[in-house]
A and B are shown apart, each in its own frame.
Chain A
Amino acid sequence: MTTDVYKTDELIAKDIDAYLDKHQHKTMLRFLTCGSVDDGKSTLIGRLLYDSKMIFEDQLASLEADSKRVGTQGQEIDFALLVDGLSAEREQGITIDVAYRFFATDARKFIVADTPGHEQYTRNMVTGASTADLAVILIDARKGVLTQTRRHSYLSHLVGIRNLVLAVNKMDLVGYDQERFEGIVADYRAFAEQIGIGAFQAIPLSGLKGDNITEKSDVTPWYQGPTLLAYLETVELDQSRMIDRPFRMAVQWVNRPNLDFRGFSGQIASGRIKPGDPVRILPGSTASVVQRIVTMDGDLPEAQAGQSVTLTLADEIDCSRGQVIAAAEQPPDVADQFEATIVWMADEPMIPGRAYVMKLGSTQATVTVTSEKYCINVNTMAREPGKTLGLNGIAVCNIATNKAIAFEPYANSADLGGFILIDRLTNATVGAGMINFALRRSHNLPWQTIDVDREAHAAIKNQQPRLLWFTGLSGSGKTTIANLVEKKLHALGRHTFLLDGDNVRHGLNKDLGFTDADRVENIRRISEVARLMTDAGLIVLSAFISPFRGERQMIRQLFPAGEFIEVFVDAPLEVAESRDTKGLYEQARRGELKNFTGLDSAYEPPQAPEIRIDTTSLSAEEAAELIVNALT
């Protein structure tokens, strides 16, 4: 084995300017390596760093010392030690995370996302894969195509990686046997075709011995293809594919240094643009023409996918963060319901009906999963039914956003079709998703036009339909006040209905329990029923703790402006607990009731309720009076 360290290009010493000029025109390839430690992944990456002369003398010295001390290769260098973290680090559990490594050759700069291979690290692999142009899938030549090979291939394919390298490693341990190699490739091809992977490059190699890594090995004369590095250096980049698509740029920031300049800054997601090109701003219906492409280095005659630019438009039109500037002739679709594939990344499961924050491009929206169509078993690719989605789970779902967004199917654009889901309470990133297509409500379930409409129903009752939504802690007095309000309204000749939580659970919702998923579904059904009742012209009163702002917001969005009246029955926890009419606080304090709002589960008070009742200063009677007066 050679032990030459960081060896430099002759040009550096001879003509540094020429060298720099060459280096400056290098392209960049981001790739992902997947495979478990046993497949020799660390050894392979270590070998790439080493063979591309990225290891410095001091690093090599400590590597040699470490190899002798803790290495697995006797007196020889253990390349795995170059990339495996310190043992302390491993104990801390961050080696299961994605690690990024860097190396460069004369042709390209490379960023390697080194991801763990086990099933419980699916989310890490998806994270690493999301920014990769290519995936290197390692196979141990002794073991052939395994469940994990299929999982890695499926996940790579799922996030849209088009270039796959099947690195059949440890060929030295099977005697560089051609038949073995070809058998594995045939197995893999059968599987790849099944999940829609068109092409891949298979390479027989040995990370340990360095065969077919940077130099063609003379022990595999039967292999005519490129070495791993040669392939990485020459494979076509995905970037060029995006340049040929129609122009789209999500507006990140509106640039307004003074009244005379208004520019729209963003990174071009696809296509190219030049001054004079007609564009549309989406969502919305405004159109304009690109005037200038402004950069600090001067205006550009043209810009393309991947560049961060600032555009000015010929017309003074409204355009802000979250909107997309697109080619006028081929604009993207705008929708608020989608089918998407979701990868879940949090310990707490995803629950259909619960509201999450979605970030897509520069847009943020509130999103709920309306139905989970099926989960995908990442080991067998089988479709399985599911109600929720746990950590590392993958499911195809229908989702609905609270506003229309401009998007592209993920297959066309990761920038406008990939999104993350954020928990509203903890602000953690809990999931990632890829839009498959928009659901057009009208295509799936046509709405019946009804001649006697909601206005007619309300008019005959001579009233404005309303939903009075009482929210507050358990024991705050919601139900008591709601009852009094209904009596008073009834006495005034109003048509009302009190939707009582317990009663609903005896009938409509008797199939629901008290899991998080069921609670969300409970509220969803109640709000839908309330909507039907307001369509019928009624004033509906409902009293539920409904602790989450996002859920109440979701209900509000079901109703025309002004129809949803949020009544915040505000009682401090001590006061509510001291009343404890149902003895629930006592049970919860004893630990017999879990997730009790106010104790071990948060209550998010309304920030701007239509009506706030301070129960420390108002009696129930006074509160009811106040509400009735506010309505009439």
Chain B
Amino acid sequence: MTTLTHLQRLESEGIHIMREVASEAERPVMLYSVGKDSAVMLHLAKKAFYPSPPPFPLLHVDTTWKFQDMYRLREKAARDAGMELIVHQNPEAIERGINPFDHGSLHTDIWKTEGLKQALDRHGFDAAFGGARRDEEKSRAKERIFSFRSSNHRWDPKNQRPELWRLYNARKANGESMRVFPLSNWTELDIWQYIHLEQIEIVPLYLSAPRPTVLRDGLILMVDDDRFRLREGEEISTRSIRFRTLGCYPLTGAVESEAKTLTAVIQEMLLTTTSERQGRAIDHDQTASMEKKKQEGYF
């Protein structure tokens, strides 16, 4: 036998992390956003506990504004994995009609950040897996794999637990919780490579197809349903597009592309010259916005 490849090492590490959580947390849950990172995370969970189904439910913190393709894959993926799927929609956001057109960054705060906290509290989850990677963003580069949160879900970057070897300290008092990131050491390319290698099902939006689009504020937005409000002078036109990241459809920018297969997407990604999160409006809101959101309890 030879030395393990980098993907084998990453896979093995992710599985080890998941088993630690399953053993030490009382009520773990996997945050499932239906994106490519979630897809990899779910795949690792299936591997970690095979032949048992993963011993925790999936939680989707829904905003009602995701792409239709995402809702379709969500149901199928949970069914295929034999896992319970919990969908949480913040009732306050429903009541107030919070939407990405009128409410800007409030949309993310209330649907996602608040919604997540509500869901974790309601079900008493004490450990939640998230698909975040350290290569995504500066403040993530310093986050632990087991990230401790106070009883009001706050992250204290100055007071993180040292994390040595493969030893994760999952001890906590009642009410406190852990966010656990099994993909911490993966890069975007690793994710794609692994999806390719393991033939993991992903949302078709990652692959290019002719889709109805609108150009707005420098982003190509997809008109996914009839709730999309056109501004004056905007016209819907068909473009061949795909997405590098997926979120709420009115906030997620697409790239023009002819990459219709996974390998073509990887090829394009490797040949591209801009970094991944450019298409996501949330990061451009304000400087160090991710770090602020994280302290408040966002993943």
Contacts and interface: CB of A to CB of B under 8 A. Distances in A.
A252 interface: yes
Contact of A5 (B6, B138, B197, B273): B273
A237 interface: yes
A243 B1 contact: yes
Given A6-B273, A102-B187, A359 B288 contact: no
A86 B266 contact: no
A440 interface: no
Given A420-B164, A427-B171, A432-B162, A362 B6 contact: no
A419 B168 CA distance: 10
Interface stretch (B34-42, B49-57, B200-208): B49-57
Interface stretch (B19-27, B99-107, B237-245): B19-27
B51 A304 contact: no
A308 B162 contact: no
Nearest to B194: A24
Contacts of A359: 167, 169
Contacts of A56: 272-275
Contacts of A253: 19, 22-23, 49
Interface in A92-148: 92-94, 97-102, 104, 108-109, 111, 123-124, 126-127, 130-131
Contacts of A190: none
A475 to B, nearest CB: 27
Given A99-B142, A252-B20, A109 B6 contact: yes
A89 B11 CA distance: 31
B263 A104 contact: no
Given A20-B263, A27-B4, A102-B134, A321 B16 contact: no
A276 interface: no
A380 interface: no
B52 A257 contact: yes
B258 to A, nearest CB: 14
Contacts of B10: 28
A256 B138 CA distance: 41
Interface in A14-61: 16-17, 19-20, 23-28, 56-59
Contacts of A415: 165-166
Interface string B248-267: 00000000000000011011
B172 interface: yes
B4 A239 contact: yes
A433 to B, nearest CB: 10
B165 A57 contact: no
A3 to B, nearest CB: 13
B152 interface: no
Contacts of A302: 1
Contacts of A357: 171
A304 to B, nearest CB: 5
B109 interface: no
Contacts of A24: 5, 7, 193, 197
B138 A111 contact: no
B165 A414 contact: yes
A12 B271 contact: yes
Interface stretch (B58-66, B68-76, B153-161): B153-161
A428 interface: yes
B275 A252 contact: no
Contact of B166 (A17, A126, A267): A267
A240 interface: yes
B274 A92 contact: no
B193 A28 contact: no
B51 A261 contact: yes
* SS of A interface (majority): mixed
B169 A255 contact: no
Interface in A424-458: 427-429, 432
A13 B169 contact: no
A167 B178 CA distance: 38
Contacts, number: 194
A227 interface: no
Interface residues of B, number: 69
A92 B157 contact: yes
Most chain A CB within 10 A, of B3, B20, B157, B172, is at B3
A92 B139 CA distance: 11
Most chain A CB within 10 A, of B11, B162, B270, B272, is at B162
B190 interface: yes
Nearest to B1: A304
Contacts of B166: 131, 267, 415
B118 interface: no
Contact of A422 (B23, B163, B171): B171
A306 B12 contact: yes
A306 B16 CA distance: 10
A142 B280 CA distance: 46
B216 to A, nearest CB: 19
Given A26-B6, A111-B185, A308-B12, A12 B171 contact: no
A287 B46 CA distance: 30
B16 A26 contact: no
B139 A58 contact: no
A161 to B, nearest CB: 13
B165 A130 contact: yes
Interface string A230-255: 00000001011001000000001101
B250 to A, nearest CB: 23
Given A94-B157, A307-B4, A418-B164, A8 B270 contact: yes
Contacts of B161: 428-429
B189 interface: yes
Contacts of A419: 167
A478 interface: no
A345 interface: yes
B134 A296 contact: no
A265 B164 CA distance: 21
B287 A88 contact: yes
B79 interface: no
Q: Give 9 nearest A-B pairs by CB, closest first.
A: A28-B6, A308-B15, A296-B50, A57-B273, A130-B164, A257-B52, A427-B171, A109-B6, A16-B267
Given A12-B267, A123-B162, A429-B162, 12 more contacts: A6-B273, A20-B196, A89-B139, A98-B142, A100-B184, A101-B135, A109-B6, A239-B4, A252-B19, A255-B52, A415-B166, A420-B167
Interface of B: 1, 3-13, 15-16, 19-20, 22-23, 46-53, 134-135, 138-139, 141-142, 157-158, 160-167, 169, 171-173, 176, 184-185, 187, 189-190, 193, 196-197, 263-264, 266-267, 270-275, 278, 287-288, 291
11 contacts: A25-B5, A58-B275, A127-B162, A131-B165, A252-B19, A252-B20, A253-B49, A255-B49, A307-B8, A359-B167, A420-B162
